[in-house]
Amino acid sequence: MLIETGSRAKAASRLMARASSARKDTALLALAGALDEARASIQSANDIDVQTARANGLSEAMLDRLALNDERITALCADLRHLTELPDPVGVRFDETVLPNGLRLRKQRVPLGVLGVIYESRPNVTMDVAGLAIKTGNAAILRGGSETIHSNRALVAVIQRTLLACDLPADAVQFIDSPDRGLILELLKLHDYIDIIIPRGGAKLHAFCRENSQIPVITGGMGICHLFVDESADLTASLDVIFNAKVQRPSTCNSLDTTLVHMAVADEFLPCLVRHLAKAGVSFRAEPRALAHLSALDPALSTAVYAAGPEDFDTEWLSLVLGLKVVADLDEAMAHIARHSSAHSDGILTGSSENAARFIAEVDSAAVYVNASTRFTDGGQFGLGAEVAVSTQRLHARGPMGLPELTTYKWVAEGQYHVRV
Amino acid sequence: MLIETGSRAKAASRLMARASSARKDTALLALAGALDEARASIQSANDIDVQTARANGLSEAMLDRLALNDERITALCADLRHLTELPDPVGVRFDETVLPNGLRLRKQRVPLGVLGVIYESRPNVTMDVAGLAIKTGNAAILRGGSETIHSNRALVAVIQRTLLACDLPADAVQFIDSPDRGLILELLKLHDYIDIIIPRGGAKLHAFCRENSQIPVITGGMGICHLFVDESADLTASLDVIFNAKVQRPSTCNSLDTTLVHMAVADEFLPCLVRHLAKAGVSFRAEPRALAHLSALDPALSTAVYAAGPEDFDTEWLSLVLGLKVVADLDEAMAHIARHSSAHSDGILTGSSENAARFIAEVDSAAVYVNASTRFTDGGQFGLGAEVAVSTQRLHARGPMGLPELTTYKWVAEGQYHVRV
């Protein structure tokens, strides 16, 4: 059944690849307008999803992720309009050269083709992905969570209507309109039609996609992040950075999970850190050396400090919990990071340019920081204009992915009837 | 059992990633010297492989691929020395920027990590891959064909001895010293240790790797290549280009498989083409319209022309066979290519800049040619200095892959205790 969907997506992707930047931007503006006008029907579809979810006993947090309120629709419209202000990566030429034999050679950006996007409860991902696909000349097959099926059906109807009205193929954005979870597996098998799988969800979804597909999967979204407080760090400023990295939005993959502290400053720094972060509700998992430095805390605070368990330094907390460890030096800090980091975002807080340089050279994470919060690992923060995903894989794209990362390139060679000698 | 190999490769890859360009180049020169000196022992090991293969009844072509004669060893030494003249991609900085908040951001090239390379009878691939891995700071696990096991064992002994002598980890180049084919499957399962699988072999090997691994696979090596002779083409020059693309080295993936001819010039061009290429031993598979234009050929030539069977336009010939088809126009030519090409190398021969532009824009192959032979799709021909593979996949790298394609990047952000607001 999905083979037909795949085949239509492939055909649509060829037309999308040839669409001019102007046509794609026109479609994005039209889509923003259509979404704005369709608020009522979208929200009543969304209401059905929300009520069903409530009846099924979903948590308030899940219900919140599910809801398409007025504010969120307005934000989606703004995002679509914002995309039109970004440069179109398709057609960009690079590495242009003339070979000694006179053959003119260049690379030229082309869309990836067909994106397979699998996500869970947030229906705004539907519009987000549609916008990114249109902008980059890709086609997309969407598989949202079954709990958002009415919302997604309504959104995709608006998208397809707009595509047609703008002389673009409606099949460029298709939606698997069925709650059957078996179809996810079927989607993952469409390697003749889908060029890349983008899972938007937790580590389990990513693993499931990798294990069950021959299609390249953009892996991401999982971050066990570290900051190392070196002996030469500005300790007061370090408190602010760690507070920001842990507390600002603990549910995100770029939030801090473990603080490593140089033993020369542990006695001064660790109690301050615990006092400062405990005020925000943070609790701590400390290994024995860190625990020793915290023994003199007042009883009210010490209840927030637990001895670290064996798995704690391999846990992405996604909540107000922070691992604490004392290390002898930079080498021990980097060895801990090499062993426990998910290679998402790791940083050093230091006054030593030598140690900063070693940390940059030797820590191999998607984003390596010197004297900054790990919370910056984000397409928006890095100035990419739009964010497709944060990749923790090594091939194709690493870290925040912007529009160009939804393209590939072809080589173009122009000659005068050149032959190889 | 291979987990130990993987784990040692991963540890070695960390040391290789930090090796300076000078140290890596020193090792490459030392390796060239050591290989030169070890000729006698390598050739006697190779003799065992060749004799065993002969006793097992392998074809002369296979025996030739297997042989490490003096000339080939000299060429391998030269290749290793040549690598030292190429720029080291590791450490190269790009996309440097200062964000509005003052955070200094850049990307910096780092090695991919651990390469898993699976290949068949040619033992020179062992030295070739070792050289590329050392140059780019990667570690490699090699699995050569069982028929070359003595040669590979001798080569890897030289490589590991040289690595150690140059203060680099011997485990950076490991070799699966067993003819057990089950170990290929085990190697493909090492996704915790291997970052990329590079198969060097036929389409079957590539498919086997993709089907059995979660590790990204560089797919390549299979080319169903087309040249379209437009009505405005210089027909005499076109004959030379097609002759070159088909005849120069028909066993390669970039050699021509199908010639499409505009119907306006078919009557003039097709008989000339058949006459010209038949002299070199080419035979033809022509669809009915092409066949009709060839009916008046003299009997001696017409024996080289066969009616095309249903699979012929989906066959990579790798031999002196050429498909012939007459098309009504550029659109029919591009539709045929979209349907039958393996997206490796396809070209147009034309005098029309408008048609050339359409062909470039609409044909989505790794290499798209205007007025040139498809035989140029090659790292050496494209001036990359070294060739890792020719990729026909869309992600990470497309077409000829050079040294930078064996690297990825990390983001480096340097601040003054920056926090996200």
Closest CA in chain B for residue A371: B417
Closest CA in chain B for residue A411: B367
User: Of A111, A113, A132, nearest to A192 (Cα)?
Assistant: A113
Confidence of residue B388 (pLDDT cuts 50, 70, 90): confident
| B185 and B283 co-located in one domain | no
Q: Give percent of chain B above pLDDT 70.
A: 100
B238 to chain A, any CB pair closer than 8 A? The answer is yes
What's the whole-number mean pLDDT along residues A1-17? Answer: 95
The pLDDT mean for chain B works out to 95
Residue A185: per-residue pLDDT: 96
Question: Which residues are bridge partners to B349 per DSSP?
Answer: B229
To the nearest whole Å, the CA of B37 is away from the closest chain A CA by 33
Closest CA in chain B for residue A347: B413
pLDDT at A1 over 90: no
- What are A350's two structure tokens? 């230091």
pLDDT at B300 over 80: no
Neighboring chain B residues of A373 at a CB cutoff of 8 Å = 418-420
Closest CA in chain B for residue A218: B395
Neighboring chain A residues of B210 at a CB cutoff of 8 Å = 191, 214
To the nearest whole Å, the CA of B411 is away from the closest chain A CA by 5
What's the whole-number mean pLDDT along residues B92-117? Answer: 97
Domain CATH number, residue B24: 3.40.605.10
To the nearest whole Å, the CA of A231 is away from the closest chain B CA by 15
Neighboring chain A residues of B376 at a CB cutoff of 8 Å = 103, 413, 418, 420
pLDDT at A288 over 90: yes
pLDDT tens digits, B7-40: 999 999 999 999 999 999 999 999 999 999 999 9
For residue A382, tell me if it sits in a domain: no
pLDDT at B138 over 80: yes
Residue A362: per-residue pLDDT: 95
- What are B233's two structure tokens? 């083409």
Enclosing domain of residue B53:
2-218+396-414
Burial of B357 (0-12, 13-18, 19+ CB in 10 A): exposed
Q: Give percent of chain A above pLDDT 90.
A: 88
Interface test with A, best of B368, B410, B416 (most A CBs within 10 A): B410
| B29 and B95 co-located in one domain | yes
Neighboring chain B residues of A99 at a CB cutoff of 8 Å = 381-383
For residue B339, tell me if it sits in a domain: yes
Residue B297: per-residue pLDDT: 82
Cross-chain CB nearest to B372 (options A211, A216, A415): A415
pLDDT tens digits, A124-143: 999 999 999 999 999 999 99
| B232 and B366 co-located in one domain | yes
- How many angstroms separate the CA atoms of A127 and B157, rounded? 57
Chain B contacts in chain A segment 191-220 (CB below 8 A): 191, 195-196, 210-211, 214, 216
| B248 and B200 co-located in one domain | no
Residue A61: per-residue pLDDT: 83
State how far the alpha carbon of A265 is from the alpha carbons of A228, A262, A271, A274, A350, in Å.
12, 6, 11, 14, 12
| A187 and A258 co-located in one domain | no
Burial of B1 (0-12, 13-18, 19+ CB in 10 A): exposed
What's the whole-number mean pLDDT along residues B357-381? Answer: 96
Cross-chain CB nearest to A420 (options B237, B244, B412): B244
The pLDDT mean for chain A works out to 95
pLDDT at A301 over 90: no
Residue B413 contacts residue A369 (beta carbons within 8 Å):
yes
CA B188 from chain centre, in angstroms, equals 20
Cross-chain CB nearest to B371 (options A237, A382, A414): A414
Confidence of residue B385 (pLDDT cuts 50, 70, 90): confident
Residue B301: per-residue pLDDT: 81
A398 to chain B, any CB pair closer than 8 A? The answer is yes
Sign of CA dihedral B327, B333, B335, B340: positive
CA dihedral B389, B391, B392, B394 (to 10 degrees): 170
pLDDT at B221 over 80: no
pLDDT tens digits, A172-198: 999 999 999 899 999 999 999 999 999
Residue B201: per-residue pLDDT: 83
Residue A378's Cβ-side half-sphere holds a number of Cα atoms within 13 Å equal to: 14
- How many angstroms separate the CA atoms of A392 and B3, rounded? 22
pLDDT at A121 over 80: no
pLDDT at A26 over 80: yes
Q: Given an 8 Å threshold on Cβ–Cβ distance, is B196 in contact with A244?
A: no
The angle that helices A353-362 and A330-340 make with each other, rounded to 10 degrees, is 20
To the nearest whole Å, the CA of A365 is away from the closest chain B CA by 6
| B255 and B212 co-located in one domain | no
| A114 and A255 co-located in one domain | no
Residue A199: per-residue pLDDT: 93
For residue B388, tell me if it sits in a domain: no
A354 to chain B, any CB pair closer than 8 A? The answer is no
| B198 and B242 co-located in one domain | no
Residue A270: per-residue pLDDT: 97
Residue A140: per-residue pLDDT: 98
Q: Give percent of chain A above pLDDT 70.
A: 100
| A7 and A44 co-located in one domain | yes
Domain CATH number, residue A280: 3.40.309.10
pTM: 0.93
pLDDT at A300 over 80: no
For residue A383, tell me if it sits in a domain: no
| B51 and B188 co-located in one domain | yes
Work out how many domains chain A is built from and give that number: 2
What's the whole-number mean pLDDT along residues B183-203? Answer: 93
Closest CA in chain A for residue B359: A412
pLDDT tens digits, B314-332: 999 999 999 999 999 999 9
Residue A201: per-residue pLDDT: 83
More confident residue, B55 or A302: B55
| B212 and B230 co-located in one domain | no
- What are B236's two structure tokens? 């005499």
Cβ neighbours of residue A79 closer than 8 Å, sequence gap 6 or more:
A127, A128, A131, A386
For residue A389, tell me if it sits in a domain: no
Residue B131 contacts residue B28 (beta carbons within 8 Å):
yes
Cβ neighbours of residue A13 closer than 8 Å, sequence gap 6 or more:
A111, A113, A114, A137, A138, A139, A172
For residue A81, tell me if it sits in a domain: yes
Residue B299: per-residue pLDDT: 80
> How many CB pairs below 8 A link A and B?
197
| A19 and A106 co-located in one domain | yes
What's the whole-number mean pLDDT along residues A195-222? Answer: 90
- What residue type is B36 in one-letter code? D
For residue A23, tell me if it sits in a domain: yes
Rounded to two decimals, the ipTM of the complex is 0.94
User: Of B210, B246, B173, nearest to B16 (Cα)?
Assistant: B173
For residue B12, tell me if it sits in a domain: yes
pLDDT at A149 over 90: yes
Neighboring chain B residues of A138 at a CB cutoff of 8 Å = none
pLDDT tens digits, B194-214: 999 999 888 889 999 999 999
Cβ neighbours of residue A387 closer than 8 Å, sequence gap 6 or more:
A378, A379, A380, A400, A401, A402
Least confident segment among A319-328, A383-392, B11-20, B153-162: A383-392
